Amino acid sequence: MTPFFQGLGLPYEWAWTISTICGILLIALPVMLSVAMVIYVDRKVWAAMALRRGPNVVGPFGLLQSFADGLKVFLQETIIPAAANKGLFLIGPIVTFTVALLAWAVIPFNSGAILANINVGLLYILAISSLGVYGIVIAGWSSNSKYPFFSAMRASAQMISYEVSIGFILICVVLWAGSFNLNDIVKAQHGHGFGFINGFWCNPLLFPMWVMFLISSMAETQRAPFDLTEAESELVAGYQTEYSSMAFALFWLGEYGNVLMMCALNATLFWGGYLPPLEIPVLYLIPGWIWLILKIAFGFFVFSWVKATVPRYRYDQLMRLGWKIFLPVSLLFVFLVSGYLMATGHFA
């Protein structure tokens, strides 16, 4: 966009600043809007799977339900517990919300349509997602209350555990694509399967990685069946117990923002990002960002499908899955993938 603003007669610095701000708004506003819609979709999917109707009163088909909920929490009183650590208590939800939006900067929405086309895009996403835990830990500690504190402990252990295997899975993808840049990773998936299928998922060495990535991303975003940090049968509502009104809403927005982010990452790394799923010229008539959104929507459907059908893990089972199964298997696949690439002279 910078050349466009330069064309209006602005010097480079100003054009860059304005186009970056426009880019941020172009990403952040649709993401926030889609978070509202995705909460509605989530509730509709659970309802359909439980043979209920779900939200159907506010607006046509209940489409405006999330906005009504948003208005409700906005009008509520913000309650800060007397024993809480006030500053940190308010910083917690802000961190969660901000971090959920930050990672979108490096997602390519179309060939070249990327806010920050940096060399270390994937590492940036890892770095940002490792920050996500702080919002929860700060919230849990500063609430100065038992159950939020347990929740914070669980969250930090859980996120560290699954980050390790996510790191190894991403390394497999990076090895194959030969770059940390997400745009290059998407391009590397062009015609990956028989020159016809766009996406790493059709690769027999990377397909198991995709399955593990899907499961790990559920654990990383604390979605069911790994929602132990807010297990209502054990911890009331976990780290959100003491929160009300907008602070609580920020947690919700952040949580769903993270889920969407993980779906976007899934689409970008394994399903060909903005490329159409099959290499047919007609499919290129549909713009890339629509393909990306469709893939994200599919990923999100899988997330809510799992939430509606799979019972919650016990904590020791969660740790066992992370450390005893995912870590060794993903490590093995790093060896297999790099061995295969060396043997076939992929980068020679």
Partner 1 sequence: MIQAFAFYLFATLMIVSGAVTILARNPVHSVLWLILAFFNAAGLMVLAGAEFIAMLLIIVYVGAVAVLFLFVVMMLDIDFAELRAGFIRNAPLGVILAVVLFVELFVGILVRSAGDMAIGTAGAATAVPAGLSNTAAIGALLYTRYLFVFEAAGFILLVAMIGAIVLTHRQRSGVRGQNIAKQIARRPEEATINLQPEVGKGVSL
| Residue 137 contacts partner 1 per CB under 8 A | yes
Task: Confirm if 272 and 189 have CB atoms less than 8 A apart.
Answer: yes
> Contact between 15 and partner 1 (CB under 8 A)?
no
Give the shortest CB-165-to-partner 1 separation in angstroms. 14
Tokens 């713009």 sit at which residue? 287
When binding is defined by CB under 8 A, the residue of 29, 48, 68, 127 that contacts partner 1 is 127
Choose, by CB under 8 A, the member of 156, 244, 245, 338 that binds partner 1. 156
- Contact status, residue 296 vs residue 260, Cβ threshold 8 Å: yes
Q: Does 316 bind partner 1 (CB under 8 A)?
A: yes
The answer to whether residue 134 forms part of the interface with partner 1 (CB under 8 A) is yes
133 binds partner 1 (CB under 8 A): yes
C-alpha span between 102 and 24 (Å, rounded): 10
Window of 205-213, 220-228, 312-320, 330-338 that interacts with partner 1 by CB under 8 A: 312-320
What is the number of residues in the chain?
348
Q: Is 332 in the site for partner 1 (CB under 8 A)?
A: no
Nearer to partner 1, 124 or 201 (CB): 124
Binding residue for partner 1, selected from 9, 13, 60, 77, defined by CB under 8 A: 13
Which residues here bind partner 1, judged by CB under 8 A?
A: 13, 88, 118-120, 123-124, 126-127, 130-131, 133-134, 137-138, 141, 149, 152-153, 156-157, 159-160, 163, 180, 316-317, 320
